[in-house]
Amino acid sequence: MKIMKQSKSEQDWQAESDAMTMATYQEILGDRQRMNRAIKVAKAKASELSKRANAMQSVAKSRTSGRKK
């Protein structure tokens, strides 16, 4: 969902950035060792984020323990 319309220069910058990202992706796909290292790191990061999300869910479900007057 895009809230604000991008200016021409922002669109140009984004297109250039996207092209570089896509080129890097192609380079990674062509290097099996590099791809496997990236997958290993992605799995570890996903695990860390899942643990953090579970902790946040636990906090969100907990009741506040303020003083009663």
The CA distance from 45 to 23, in Å, is 23
The CA distance from 18 to 62, in Å, is 41
Element (H, E) at 29: helix 8-29
The CA distance from 50 to 56, in Å, is 10
Residue 5 pLDDT grade (very low, low, confident, very high; cuts 50, 70, 90)? confident
State pLDDT tens for residues 15-54: 999 999 999 999 999 999 999 999 999 999 999 999 999 9
Helices of type H across 30-69: 32-61
Supply 30's token pair: 């062509």
**In the predicted model, is pLDDT for residue 69 greater than 60?**
no
